[in-house]
């Protein structure tokens, strides 16, 4: 039998008094623009990805991982476990945006429901720090007909009833500090498993059991809501316009996720790479295996003993993806920067950022090499910058001079100039690769891909491996 969840009672300021939102009412007033809506939807997708990957035994608490999802439009995080009134409002909007989007995709309902249920479970878990009375009040505010057992009755049944420890699957030696009396039909999942005590037609559930019941009720509610939305909203033209915008956000997000997976694979394979980059071989490796964008940054750093923000970010993340360890990276940057600034300034202003890239500071999420698409299309370099894709951001004279300097044959330079004119910058990069390495990749998606292909080629040549097979295999793994 389904639980009939009703909207929460309101406090004076119109906000729900208790943290977890069961999303029973859509936002009924106010307005947001399209950019804000897209941003909130994206935050929810990011939270979905975080929860999907989150491991219970992770050293970083889920709350800080979720809080690291930053939005350009809002400083608040709409999926916080401890939301303020404003965050709760944004959370509600982002939930309903996601609900509209996923309603049109029945094939994604299971993963969407799983995410919302899991998020609720974590939020309810936070209620552990509330007293049993507060949990009871929360349940009543949503019309859950669960009664907190009075103390005297609790003491009495403790002597008589056998309770169950769900984790061990054994009769529990101690029972939960609080027991809720729940209508028998709402606890069928426990009855079916024969893991519940029953008294006078009521199932006796612990606070942990109660969380499961609420989450299941919420999932059923969400399932019905998705079915309703799928039938009714698809006919509404305003919703269709909104859906089209959300669809672009979803596809872009999915593409980024795929790219991350490809990079992770490459990074894993780099652990086995014969080229572990260190302070002694890094100049040779950068000359022989870095793509032109990163080689230019490396050489600029050596020459000027400094790189501006985006240069540090692009080269730093690339080096991490190429397998440079955190310690080696710190020493590498220190060696150059301290030619111009004192070591304590380096320690204070720059070391933190390097550790941040390696996931050792801040939100503790390591960053991978930026994709070609991002380097080409975002953060165009200014006159004092060295970052960017040479095939796009260098003028022709400057590009030709770089290519000659890298010993590119004249015919290939003409091809690359032509590709630049056609704005097919990554194709120009593939031609550059062929001109210097003799094999042309089908596409170039990321500077780290360039590095790994190049390093693998040299390794295989040295070891007389049949190179063509290796290239095909790597290309295939990147296609996945």
Judged by the rule CB under 6 A, the positions of this chain that interact with ligand SF4 are: 291-293, 372, 375-376, 389-391, 425-426, 429, 444, 447, 450
Residues in Cβ contact with 232 at an 8 Å cutoff, skipping those fewer than 6 apart: none
Neighbours of 76 (CB within 10 A): 17
Closest CA to 175 of 191, 189, 155, 192: 155
Q: Which is nearer to ligand SF4, 83 or 292 (CB)?
A: 292
**Residue 182 main-chain phi, psi, to 5 deg:** -125, 135
In angstroms, give the least distance from the CB of 418 to ligand SF4: 16
Say how far residue 315 (Cα) sits from the centre of its chain. 21
Q: Which is nearer to ligand SF4, 124 or 324 (CB)?
A: 324
In angstroms, give the least distance from the CB of 279 to ligand SF4: 24
Q: Which is nearer to ligand SF4, 195 or 424 (CB)?
A: 424
In angstroms, give the least distance from the CB of 177 to ligand SF4: 58
Q: Which helix (H) or strand (E) holds 249?
A: helix 237-271
In angstroms, give the least distance from the CB of 322 to ligand SF4: 12
In angstroms, give the least distance from the CB of 398 to ligand SF4: 14
In angstroms, give the least distance from the CB of 282 to ligand SF4: 18
Q: Which is nearer to ligand SF4, 186 or 295 (CB)?
A: 295
Q: Which is nearer to ligand SF4, 444 or 478 (CB)?
A: 444
Q: Which is nearer to ligand SF4, 291 or 323 (CB)?
A: 291
Tell me how far CA of residue 379 lies from CA of 93, 126, 252, 295, 432, in angstroms: 30, 40, 18, 19, 23
Q: Which is nearer to ligand SF4, 324 or 389 (CB)?
A: 389
Q: Which is nearer to ligand SF4, 206 or 321 (CB)?
A: 321
In angstroms, give the least distance from the CB of 31 to ligand SF4: 40
Number of H helices, E strands in the chain: 22, 6
Neighbours of 383 (CB within 10 A): 4
| DSSP characters over 368-419 | PPPPHHHHHHSS---TT---S-HHHHS-HHHHHHHHHHTT--HHHHHHHHHH
Instruction: Read off the DSSP letter of residue 175.
Output: -
Q: Do residues 54 and 62 lie in contact, with contact meaning Cβ atoms separated by under 8 Å?
A: yes
Q: Where on the phi/psi map is residue 273: left (φ > 0), alpha (ψ -120 to 50), or beta?
A: beta
Q: Which is nearer to ligand SF4, 357 or 389 (CB)?
A: 389
Tell me how far CA of residue 6 lies from CA of 131, 132, 140, 218, 376, in angstroms: 23, 21, 10, 11, 51
Q: Which is nearer to ligand SF4, 213 or 324 (CB)?
A: 324
In angstroms, give the least distance from the CB of 331 to ligand SF4: 25
- What is the rounded CA–CA span in Å between residue 69 and residue 346? 28
Q: Which helix (H) or strand (E) holds 425?
A: helix 425-437
In angstroms, give the least distance from the CB of 422 to ligand SF4: 14
- What is the rounded CA–CA span in Å between residue 252 and residue 254? 5
In angstroms, give the least distance from the CB of 469 to ligand SF4: 24
**Could you tell me the two tokens for 170?**
């054994």
Q: Which is nearer to ligand SF4, 50 or 293 (CB)?
A: 293
Q: Where on the phi/psi map is residue 468: left (φ > 0), alpha (ψ -120 to 50), or beta?
A: alpha
Residues in Cβ contact with 308 at an 8 Å cutoff, skipping those fewer than 6 apart: 384, 385, 386, 387
């Amino acid at each position: 039998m389904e639980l009939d969840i009703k909207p929460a009672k309101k406090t004076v300021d119109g906000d729900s008094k208790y943290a977890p939102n069961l999303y029973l009412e859509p936002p009924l007033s106010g307005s947001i623009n399209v950019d804000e809506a897209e941003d909130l939807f994206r935050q929810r997708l990011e939270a979905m990805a975080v929860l999907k990957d989150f491991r219970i035994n992770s050293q970083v608490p889920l709350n800080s991982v979720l809080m690291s999802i930053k939005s350009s439009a809002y400083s608040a995080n709409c999926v916080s476990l401890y939301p303020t009134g404003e965050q709760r409002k944004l959370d509600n909007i982002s939930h309903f945006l996601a609900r509209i989007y996923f309603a049109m995709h029945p094939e994604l309902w299971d993963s969407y429901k799983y995410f919302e249920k899991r998020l609720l479970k974590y939020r309810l878990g936070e209620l552990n720090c509330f007293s049993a009375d507060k949990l009871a009040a929360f349940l009543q505010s949503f019309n859950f007909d669960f009664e907190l057992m009075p103390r005297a009755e609790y003491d009495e049944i403790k002597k008589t009833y056998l309770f169950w420890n769900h984790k061990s699957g054994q009769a529990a030696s101690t029972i939960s500090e609080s027991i809720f009396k729940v209508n028998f039909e709402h606890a069928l999942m426990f009855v079916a498993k024969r893991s519940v005590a029953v008294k006078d037609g009521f199932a006796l559930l612990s606070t942990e059991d109660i969380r499961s019941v609420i989450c299941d009720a919420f999932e059923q509610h969400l399932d019905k809501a998705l079915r309703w939305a799928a039938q009714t909203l698809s006919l509404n033209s305003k919703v269709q316009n909104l859906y089209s915008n959300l669809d672009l956000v979803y596809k872009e997000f999915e593409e980024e996720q795929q790219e991350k997976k490809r990079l992770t694979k490459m990074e894993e394979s780099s652990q086995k790479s014969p080229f572990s980059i260190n302070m002694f071989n890094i100049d040779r490796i950068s000359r022989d295996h870095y793509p032109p964008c990163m080689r230019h940054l490396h050489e600029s750093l050596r020459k000027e003993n400094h790189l501006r923000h985006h240069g540090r970010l692009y080269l730093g993340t690339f080096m991490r993806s190429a397998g440079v360890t955190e310690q080696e990276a710190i020493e590498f940057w220190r060696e150059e920067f301290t030619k111009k600034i004192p070591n304590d300034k380096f320690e204070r202003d720059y070391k933190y950022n390097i550790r941040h890239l390696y996931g050792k500071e801040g939100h503790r999420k390591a960053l991978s090499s930026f994709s070609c698409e991002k380097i080409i299309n975002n953060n165009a370099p200014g006159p004092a910058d060295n970052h960017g894709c040479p095939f796009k951001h260098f003028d022709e004279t400057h590009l030709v001079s770089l290519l000659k300097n890298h010993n590119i044959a004249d015919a290939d330079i003409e091809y690359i100039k032509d590709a630049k004119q056609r704005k097919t910058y990554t194709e120009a990069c593939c031609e550059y690769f062929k001109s210097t390495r003799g094999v042309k990749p089908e596409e170039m998606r990321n500077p780290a891909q360039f590095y790994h292909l190049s390093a693998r080629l040299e390794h295989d040549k040295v070891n007389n491996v049949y190179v063509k097979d290796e290239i095909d295999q790597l290309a295939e793994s990147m296609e996945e």
